A and B are shown apart, each in its own frame.
Chain A
Amino acid sequence: MDELRKRAKELLEAGTVKVVIGYENGTAGRTRALFAEEPKAAEKLIFDSRCIMNLASYITKAEVKAKGKMAIAATLPVMRAIIQLASEFQVSDNNLLVLGITPESTMIEFKDIAEVEAFVHKYEIEIEAKYSEKLEKLNKMTPSERWNFWIEELSPCFKCYACRAACPMCYCHKCTVEFNQPQWIPVPSHDLGNLEWHMMRAIHLAGRCVDCDACYNACPLGIPLNLLTKRMLIDAKEHFGGYQPSIKADHLMSTYKPDDKDNFIM
C-alpha cells in the first residue's frame, strides 16, 4: 500500500485534509486505527487481511470531526457505511475524502461520495455461504427452539457495548439504552435485558446495516450478532426489493411505495 501512504502524506503536506484515518500495526500482531495528522505519521499506514475493523465508525465522532477535513482509507464495507452515513446527513463531501481500497487491494481516490456510490453499486451485498447455512438452520427451527438458541447465545453478554462502539451505524449521542425516562431497555445483563438490547440494536439497523461484521468481530465473547443483521438483509431482499446503500434519502424502511409488497400483513 505504498500508493496509500504516498497519497496520505501528500494530502497532509498540502493541508488538503487535517487527518488521515487508516490502519496501523497494533500490539500482539493485531491492527488498530491510525489517525495521522502529521505527514510523517502517514508512513505508519498499512493495509492487509487483518484490517477488518470498520473505520467509518470514527468519522461520526465529534473529537475526530473537530480535527477538520478527514481522509479515510475505505474498504468496500467502509465505503458502504460512508454512503449510508451520508444519506443520514452525518458526513458530506465537505468534511470527508475517500481513499477507496478495492477488493483487489488497489487504491482509488474518489472525487466525492456520489463517485463512491457509483463504485460500490458494482457490488451486491452477498451473504457468505457459511452464514447462509447457519441462517437456514435457524430458519428451520421452531420459534421456541430459536428463542432458546438466542437466549443461550446472548446469555454471556455483559453489555460492554463493544458491538455498539464498533458499528458505524451506531453514532447516536444518546443511545436508546441510555434513554431512562422511561428505561425501555433494561440495563442489567440478565437474559431478558440482553435479548432486548440486541433485538433493539438489530431492529435499529434494519435497512441500514452494511454487513461489515464489525459487531461480531468486536464482541469479546464471539456472540454471532451478525446473524441477526444478515437475516434482516435477506428479509429486506425478500420483502423490500433488497438493500444497497444510497445517498438518496429514500430509506428502505421508511419510504412507502404504492407497489410495496404487503404479503406480511395478515
Chain B
Amino acid sequence: MSKIGVFVCHCGENIGATVDCARVAETSGKLDGVAYSVDYKYMCSDPGQSLIKSAIAEKGLTGVVVAACSPRMHEPTFRKACAEAGLNPYMCEMANLREHVSWVHEKGEATTEKAIDLVRILVEKVKYNQSLNAIKVPVTKTALVIGGGIAGIQASLDIANTGHKVILIEKDPSIGGHMSQLSETFPTLDCSQCILTPRMVEVAQHPNITLYSYAELESIEGFIGNFKAKIRRKSKSLDEKLCTGCGLCTTKCPVKKIPSEFNEGLGMRTAIYVPFPQAVPNKPVIDREHCTYYLKGKCRICEKVCPTQAIRFDQKDTIEEVEIGAIVLATGFSVKQPDFFPEYGYGKYPDVITGLQFERLASASGPTLGEIRRPSDSKVPQNIVFVACAGSRDEAKGIPYCSKICCMYIAKHAMLYQHKVHGGKSYVFYMDIRAGGKNYEEFVRRAIEEDGVNYVRGRVSRIYEKNGKLIVKGVDTLLGAMPVDIEADMVVLATAGVANNDAEALAQKLHVSYDAYKFFAEAHPKLKPVETNTAGIFLAGACQAPRDIPESVSMASGAAVKVACLFSQDELTRDPLIAVVNRMAPPVYSSCVGCFLCVSACPYQAIEKEEIKNRAGEVIKTLARVNPGLCQGCGTCVAFCRTKSIDLQGYTHEQMYTEVMALLNEY
C-alpha cells in the first residue's frame, strides 16, 4: 500500500493568492494512498524542505508529490530533500501549480479544482514510480569553441588558461571576426586592432589551444561531456607547414579585383590572399571561386613564385574527428544586407554606406588608410549624415528589436569624422539615444557637446541624388515634426544587426533552440544567460543577440567558467529518465520486432541493434537497445514503437495511462 505525502506550496503570493492551497492539501489528504498532506508558505525554503524530510521519516512515506512551481528549477531541490530523508529521489514528483495554474488563471473555484486535478494525477502516477539510480558518465575535458571573433577568442583563452584543451574553429581564413574590422572602439576611442591582435597571437601560441582556421562544423553527435564532432577543414590549397607567410604569392597573383570581405567591398584583394596584414594564422588561402587556375586550368603563378613550394592545387577538404566535452558557440552576427533599404538608395548611390564600411574608411588599415574619403570619387565629404535604426526597431521590416550597438558606434563615427575632417558638418538622425553602460552616456554627450555633432530626432524617409548631392529627407520631431532636408556628401546607415544566414542550420545541427530572429536562445533570460537548453553547449557574444565588445567578452568569460565547472569533475551524474526496451522470457525475449524505425526517429543516435544469441552463439533475435549514455529521454522512440516495446523510465506507459485515467475518473 502506498503512503504518499502531498506538499502544497503557496510560493508566497504567487500560488496562494489565486489557489486555495489549504483546500488542495485537505482534498489531497483524502485521496487513496495519501498518508499525509500539508500546505506551507515556501516549500523550497529550509523549513519547507524539513517538513518533507520529517514527514518521510515519521510517516514512512513511499512517495512524494510537491505541488509548487515548475519542476525546471526546484525538482532537483525536492528530489535532493527526499534523498536526504532516505527516499529514492525519483519517487518525488512535482505538480506545477504556478505556471500551469495560478499564473494563467484567475482566482476561483475552477482554478482550485484544476490544482486538485494536477495533484490527483500525480498521486496516481507516483504509485507506479520506481526507484531509479542516477547514471554516471565520464567527461572528455576538451572544449570546442565555434567562431574566432572576440567572444570565441576570449572563451578559448579563458578555458585554455584553466589548463584544459580547446579546439577553436573559425570559418574564415583568419580569426579576429568583426572586431578586427573596427577602427576605434567606444567609449574610449582606443584602436580596435591594437587591443585585439595581441589576443589573436596569444591564441595561436597557446599550448592548450588548437586553432583550425578556414574550418566549419560538419556534424556533431553525443551529449554533454561526450560529444563527437566532425570538423571540415576547408582546403586552403596550401601546405601550412611549408608556408612561411612571406606573402610573395599575394603580390604576384594576377586576379586583383575581388572585393575584399575584410574591407566590406571598399577595397580589393587577390585570389590567393591573407584577409588583413595582422591575420592569425598569417598564411594565405586560395579562393577557388575566383582563382584563374581553378576556373580555367591555367596560371599557377603563385606556385612558381612560392619560395618553399607550399602551394597545393589538388588539396582536398579534410574531415577532422574530435572528441569534446563542451561546446561554446561564438559565431557572432551579420549586418542587414543592402537590398533591405530601397528608400535609402543603398547599392544605387555609392556614397550611401553601412556602419561597418565606415569603420573600414576610418581604420588606419583600411582602403583609405584612415582618411574619410567617399567611395565614389575619393573626395573628403564636407557634410555627412548618419542614420540610426536603419532596419532596427522597425516592425514593418521584421526587426522590432533594438540592435543595441548602433547608438554608440554612430556617436563614435561622428566623433571620428569630426576629428579627421576639420570644419566638416555631421548630422545624426535618431529615434532615441540608447547609451546605457559605463561611460556610454558621457561618450555621446561628448560627441554632441564637444565635437559639435548635430543630433536630429526623427527618421529619414528617403535619400535621393540631386546635382551630385545626396538629399536626406527627414523630420525633426523635437521641432514639431519640421521637415529637414540635408544636402550630404555621404550617408552612413546604422544597419540592423541580424543573425548569420546559417545560424538556423547550425542550431538544428547542435539541437540548440533559437528565437524568432534566429539568434541562439539562452536557457534562462536572467539566470542562465550563457547556457543553452542543450546541456554542455554554451553561448558567447553576438550569436545570442546583438552585443558590444565588453558584453561579448564578459559573456565569453562566463561561458568559459561554465565549461571549467563542467571539466572540474571526472564524472557527470545524469538523470536515469531514459528509454528502455523491454525484455521478456524466452522464446520471445522482447516484444520488439526489430523494425528499427526507432533508430531513424532517435534524434540522438542513441539506439543500436542488440543480437540475442543462444549458447551455440547463433543469433536468435535482433532487438533495439537504448544506449543509456546517449539517451536524452525525449520519448520520440516510445511514440514510434508500434508494439509499445519501449518505455521511458519515470514516464512509463503505465504511469501515463494511470494519469489520464485519474483525470477522467471521478474522485
Contact = CB atoms under 8 A, between A and B. Distances in A.
21 contacts: A88-B596, A88-B597, A89-B595, A89-B622, A90-B593, A173-B591, A173-B593, A174-B588, A174-B591, A179-B591, A179-B644, A181-B654, A182-B658, A251-B600, A251-B601, A253-B601, A254-B597, A254-B598, A254-B600, A255-B600, A258-B508
A122 B591 CA distance: 36
Interface in A215-266: 249-251, 253-256, 258
B643 A176 contact: yes
B595 A90 contact: yes
Interface centre among B508, B593, B594, B658, by most chain A C-beta atoms within 10 angstroms, is B593
A176 B642 contact: yes
Interface string B625-667: 0000000000000001011100000000110011000000000
A83 to B, nearest CB: 14
B505 interface: yes
A204 interface: yes
B529 interface: no
A172 interface: yes
Contact of B644 (A89, A171, A176, A254): A176
Interface residues of B, number: 23
B659 to A, nearest CB: 11
Contacts of B588: 173-174
A250 B603 CA distance: 13
Given A179-B643, A182-B658, A249 B591 contact: no
Nearest to B642: A204
Given A172-B643, A179-B591, A249-B600, 14 more contacts: A88-B595, A88-B597, A89-B596, A89-B622, A90-B594, A172-B591, A174-B588, A175-B643, A176-B642, A181-B654, A182-B654, A253-B601, A254-B597, A258-B505
Interface centre among A179, A204, A254, by most chain B C-beta atoms within 10 angstroms, is A254
B599 interface: yes
Contacts of B505: 258
Contacts of B594: 89-90
B600 A182 contact: no
A90 B594 CA distance: 8
A88 B595 CA distance: 4
Contacts of A253: 597, 601, 640
Tell me the dominant secondary structure on chain A's binding face: loop
A173 B657 CA distance: 22
A249 B642 contact: no
A176 B156 CA distance: 52
A149 interface: no
A131 interface: no
Nearest to B602: A254
Contact of B653 (A171, A175, A182, A249): A182
Contact of B657 (A90, A184, A258): A184
A253 B599 CA distance: 12
A176 B593 CA distance: 12
Query: What 7 pairs between A and B have smallest CB-CB spacing?
Result: A182-B657, A254-B601, A88-B595, A174-B591, A254-B600, A179-B644, A172-B643
Nearest to B645: A174
A171 B643 contact: no
Contacts of B598: 254
A223 B586 CA distance: 38
